[in-house]
Chain A
Amino acid sequence: MRHFLDALKSVATIAKSFGRKTNTVQYPKVLRPRAERYRASFALLHEADGDEACIGCLQCERICPSKVIAIKGPAKRDSPITGKKRSYADDFTLDLSACIFCELCVQVCPTDAIVMTREQEEPAYGRESLVLNMARLYENEKTKTRAWGDGTKLMEMQTPPKPPKPAPVEGAPVAAAPVVAAPVTAAAVDAVPVAAAPAVPTSEPSVAPAPIIPKPEGGTP
């Protein structure tokens, strides 16, 4: 009888699963949307006036953990656009087959020259075609979708702003208040004045800015 009920239950489960929507997509025909920050391949950018943005400063070559970037240069030349003398990279090679896509080269770039693209796949027929030379990197700028990150944006995100620095200090104790309150009472019960004395003043200002309570919720992205 028990087994019969189990069989009925499994039939019911199968019947229920018929209505479920599939979680997979038919890959070559349908491509899943990729996140804005998705990192897949690389591109070198031109500046707004059409000049090459890369100045060949070798920062990316130095920080690359797997040493896949090789730059010849820097060489000082007259710019074909502005006519002023500036430095260029003579050659720029990036070996995708050994790249670990850590985005460190993008982060250190002072001129936002190297960025990542977010095309979903990077197929190749041989290892040679995974080596991105300068021409292919500049071609990627035109043909591929850029990912969100570049050197300036990543640095802006990571650098703490100077003036509004007190803001997190105010908001900080609010969320901590209920948690801090518990040890304080526990310490009071234990009658340990040393522990209770510093704990009470820290909890008092944390309770005081009560109107800031909605702030962490609004701050939640």
Chain B
Amino acid sequence: MRNLLLLLIGGVLVLVFCAANSPYVLAQDGAAASTPVATSPTEKEFSPVQSLAASLTIFVLAVFVGFEVITKVPPTLHTPLMSGSNAISGITIVGAIVVTGLSRDVITSGVGLLAVMLAMVNVVGGFLVTHRMLNMFRRK
């Protein structure tokens, strides 16, 4: 399990490195990235109401999927279910990474860093503790 963890963290770090070296990144001297902004020609502007409706649709459908899937989980597994879904709620790590990356002042960078850290505790701790518990349920 420790190896798995190291593998995961290592994988994430490799990803960070790749992303940091992708051609769009601002060079360290501060020059703007040379690659032009790739906007697809078919892109249309959506009105705020349209995009809200789209997001709400996704939200509501996901709630229904959640209800369907979760009601089938037996009470025996409710604790691992909780810690596992808890780890999934650490998905806010995605937002934290975006905020940190886009930050242009020290305060937002700090806020972003803190958010990345907290969310990552939630994610890694949640998945690992769930793994620990579920291993106990394996047939001996």
Decide whether A and B are members of one complex.
no
Interface set of A (CB-CB < 8 Å, partner B): none
Residues of B within 8 A of A (CB): none
